[in-house]
Amino acid sequence: MRRLLRRAALLAFHAAFVRPVVRWFVGVRYRRKGFVPEGPCLVVSNHNSHLDAAVLMTLFPMRRLPHAHPVAAADYFGKTWFRRTVAMMLMNGIPIERTPRAGEDPLQPMIAALESGEALIFFPEGSRGEPGVVAPFRSGVGRLVQAVPGLLIVPVFLSGPERVWPRGQAVPLPLGIDANVGKPRTYASDGEAREIAESVRRDVLALAPPPPPVPGPRPRPPIRAAVCGIEPEPRDALLVATARRLGAHGFTVGLSDPAVEADEGGVREAGGGIPVARSRAWIGLLARIFRTGGLYRGYRFAEMVEKARMDEALEDGRTARFVAGGGSALVDLLAWAEADLYRGVFDERELLRVLHYLSGERRIPFLQWWRFVRKAPEVWLLNAFDLAHLKVPGICVLLRSSPAAALERARTRGRTLEAHETRVFLAMLQEGYGRVAALLRRRGVEVLEYDAADLDAEAVSAEVAAHCLRLDAAAGAPAAGTT
């Protein structure tokens, strides 16, 4: 009976107070709310306000509320009867001792809850810190991962609660909150607890929106380097090496799968790849309807668009000083179009026109639509629906390989070949890259060509980084992320 009453009180409190206040008074926008899994999980977020737990509770549907528990500091929320009632009963919290007695494991109730299939909301910073500052995560989250192998962690970044109701303020103001949910993932449980906590923190930070612009002149766009070629493995190896070198000079984003970020501390994966938002799944459907092919078939076209949009978002220069791409959507699509659709019969002017269509500089004339829908649906979709404006890289690194040798190497690496990866087609694609490179050179893009077979990633990355730094110096005032 007591349990039933508690559950009724919890549901009534959330239905009548928490949800209306959070949704209508404060105003929360969720991004990728659907990522929150049905089963047991640990929702981990930055912590700046008492509102954080209430906002994270609204990520769960009402029916799951009795199985979702925010973890609340026992020393603070257990202090008075009022706080205890609100935090433990009405918010369904689980108390945690921040200063446990000797021999006591403060995480034990959480481990038990996770093992019994409950979902927890956890703030690894331990306390509400400075507004807008994400403090280092305590090792508790790492210890939970170690104790519950395979634990699904959902990173969430909350922006806004620190303004709505910061620490030390009596009155919350309705100013809006963004809850940016990341892809749930597991962490290897054999690592150090601190290291795990640091990786979780990086995943949470990867979801943070760029800082608001300050008045005055804008930072210049980042320097873009794209590594292209028909073989993905040497391309990705060179991308990582280049990102590491550039990272030593300024914050660098590597757009590959998974995305990487690099700074003085080295290269690391950023936020578990570039997932397609649910609201943009229609792009994949469009691609299926218009039968985009090969590398851009169906959902992969949506992924390419998502990556291109991420690249567009970096254009403002506030986040990264360098952007290195494992392939460039623009160069790859141009080479693809040249190889697959026009089979070398295109003249350069035509290729230049397609470049303008892809970069959004021009619209495909209405009378040409049918031709493009039939022959190059990827180009048409991007241009007609204005899905993304593909960026021309400042430096294009072209890795040349012999198609036969590339196929052989792919087989020896055990990679499953795709339908389009035939010797003839790869030769045409290589030829396409060559033509695109010539076109880019005439547009003032620096094109560096190397043989992929005997590629020394370290030496080549040093050369690419030197070119990038030269362009960076020529561009003038440094962008954001300068170290």
Residues 324-363 that bind another protein (CB under 8 A): 360
Cβ 477 to another protein shortest distance, Å: 18
Options 68, 96, 107, 387; binder of another protein; rule CB under 8 A = 387
The region of 43-51, 104-112, 163-171, 421-429 touching another protein under the rule CB under 8 A is: 163-171
CA distance linking residue 334 with residue 369, whole number of Å? 17
Options 215, 217, 444, 476; binder of another protein; rule CB under 8 A = 215
Options 86, 384, 448, 475; binder of another protein; rule CB under 8 A = 384
Cβ partners under 8 Å of residue 24, min gap 6: none
Residues 16-35 that bind another protein (CB under 8 A): 27, 29, 31
Residue listed under structure tokens 């699904």? 152
The contacts found for 425-429 with CB under 8 angstroms, 24 or more apart, are 425/339, 425/340, 426/230, 427/403, 428/339, 428/340, 428/343, 428/344, 429/230, 429/335, 429/336, 429/339, 429/340
User: With helix as H, strand as E and coil as C, how does the chain read?
Assistant: CHHHHHHHHHHHHHHHHHHHHHHHHHCEEEECHHHCCCCCEEEEECCCCCHHHHHHHCCCCHHHHHHEEEEEEHHHHCCCHHHHHHHHHHCCCEEECCCCCCCCCCCHHHHHHHHCCCEEEECCCCCCCCCCCCCCCCCHHHHHHHHCCCCCEEEEEEECHHHHCCCCCCCCCCCCEEEEECCCECCCCCCCHHHHHHHHHHHHHCCCCCCCCCCCCCCCCCEEEEEEECCHHHHHHHHHHHHHHHHCCECEEEECCCCEEEECCEEEECCCCCCCCHHHHHHHHHHHHCCCCHHHCCHHHHHHHHHHHHHHHHHHCCCCCEEEEECCHHHHHHHHHHHHHHCCCCCHHHHHHHHHHHCCCCCCCHHHHHHHHHHCHHHHHHHHCCCCCCCCCCEEEEEECCHHHHHHHHHHCCCCCCCCCCHHHHHHHHHHHHHHHHHHHHCCCEEEEEECCCCCHHHHHHHHHHHHHHHHHHHCCCCCCEC
* Site size with another protein, rule: CB under 8 A: 31
Task: Rule CB under 8 A: say whether 367 interacts with another protein.
Answer: no
**Peptide bond before 219: cis, by omega within 30 degrees of 0?**
no
Options 316, 431, 446, 463; binder of another protein; rule CB under 8 A = 316
Our CB check for another protein shows the closer of 67 and 280 to be 280
The region of 12-20, 116-124, 175-183, 408-416 touching another protein under the rule CB under 8 A is: 175-183
Site string for another protein, 79-118 (x = CB under 8 A): ----------------------------------------
Site string for another protein, 57-76 (x = CB under 8 A): --------------------
Our CB check for another protein shows the closer of 218 and 442 to be 218
Options 64, 194, 297, 309; binder of another protein; rule CB under 8 A = 309
CA distance from start to end of the chain: 61
Our CB check for another protein shows the closer of 283 and 428 to be 283
Cβ 360 to another protein shortest distance, Å: 8
Our CB check for another protein shows the closer of 109 and 172 to be 172
Task: Rule CB under 8 A: say whether 285 interacts with another protein.
Answer: no
Site string for another protein, 183-212 (x = CB under 8 A): --------------------------xx-x
Options 131, 273, 293, 478; binder of another protein; rule CB under 8 A = 131
Cβ 253 to another protein shortest distance, Å: 13
Task: Rule CB under 8 A: say whether 167 interacts with another protein.
Answer: no
Options 233, 315, 431, 446; binder of another protein; rule CB under 8 A = 315
Options 17, 282, 370, 385; binder of another protein; rule CB under 8 A = 385
Options 15, 16, 62, 173; binder of another protein; rule CB under 8 A = 173
Task: Rule CB under 8 A: say whether 52 interacts with another protein.
Answer: no
Our CB check for another protein shows the closer of 40 and 284 to be 284
Our CB check for another protein shows the closer of 133 and 188 to be 133
Cβ 25 to another protein shortest distance, Å: 9
Task: Rule CB under 8 A: say whether 220 interacts with another protein.
Answer: no
Our CB check for another protein shows the closer of 276 and 455 to be 276
Nearest CA among 189, 172, 182, 166 for reference residue 270: 182
Options 20, 39, 100, 174; binder of another protein; rule CB under 8 A = 174
Options 67, 163, 194, 400; binder of another protein; rule CB under 8 A = 163
Our CB check for another protein shows the closer of 171 and 419 to be 171
**Measured CA distances, 104 to 96, 100, 127, 137 (Å):** 11, 6, 21, 21
Options 176, 258, 344, 365; binder of another protein; rule CB under 8 A = 176
- Binding footprint of another protein on the chain (CB under 8 A): 27, 29, 31, 131, 160, 163, 166, 169, 171, 173-176, 178, 209-210, 212-213, 215, 309-310, 312-313, 315-316, 318, 360, 384-387
